[in-house]
Structure formats: structure tokens, C-alpha cells
Amino acid sequence: MTYCDIDNKIHPEMTVLDIICRHRETESVFKKYNEQAGTCICCNALFDTLEDVAKKYNLDLGVLLSDLKAVANSASTGNAQDERRGVGSKHHRKNSRFDP
């Protein structure tokens, strides 16, 4: 069982894959760290835990974790606002010109 199956919280023990699986928008955070790491983190450390990635590439785990959580939280807040407004709901889509 992966963290994708458990909850939405990001933990240092999660793999890069688990994090991106649960929070697709965090891929941009990993890309931001590629230059500092000297490699594509998603390409070369997909199955490593966040803690191992920080150690392997000499990254500040606390800052990385904070950046990931900030992006994930802002995205989930946006999704909650969309749901309250009915964006993506059946009612909203029915009024779309693409629906019969």
C-alpha cells in the first residue's frame, strides 16, 4: 500500500512517486529543485523517499517539505473553492455547450 491510498498529507517517508501521485501539482516543485540537485529528481529518484532525496542531493529537507506542502495546500484549497462554486459539477457541465 502506498501513501496514495492512505491520505493527502506529505511526509518525509513518502516517495517522490507517492507525492506526485497524490498531488500532481507538486511536480513543479521537484522541477524547481532539479538544478540544485544536478539531475532530474523525477527521472532519477522517483522511488526514493523525500528524506533520501534530500540526503542524496544535499537539499534542505525542511524547505523542500514546506515548498511541497504549500503547493499541495494551495491546490486543494482551490479545488474546495471550485466544488463550492459548482465548477466541474454535473449541473455546471450540463450547461456547457458540449453537453446534449
In-domain check, residue 98: no
Number of domain units in the chain: 1
Q: How confident is the model at residue 89 (pLDDT cuts 50, 70, 90)?
A: very low
Q: Where are the alpha helices (DSSP H) in the chain?
A: 16-22, 27-37, 41-44, 50-56, 61-85, 90-94
In-domain check, residue 21: yes
CATH of the domain at 20: 1.10.3910
pLDDT at 3: 43
CA distances from 36 to 17, 39, 64, 74 (A): 20, 8, 12, 24
In-domain check, residue 13: yes
pLDDT at 92: 42
In-domain check, residue 97: no
* Mean pLDDT, residues 69-73 taken together: 94
Q: Which three cell numbers stand for residue 26?
A: 507538486
Q: What is the pTM of this model?
A: 0.70
Average pLDDT in the chain: 81
* Mean pLDDT, residues 5-24 taken together: 88
pLDDT at 91: 43
Distance between CA atoms of residues 22 and 82, nearest Å:
18
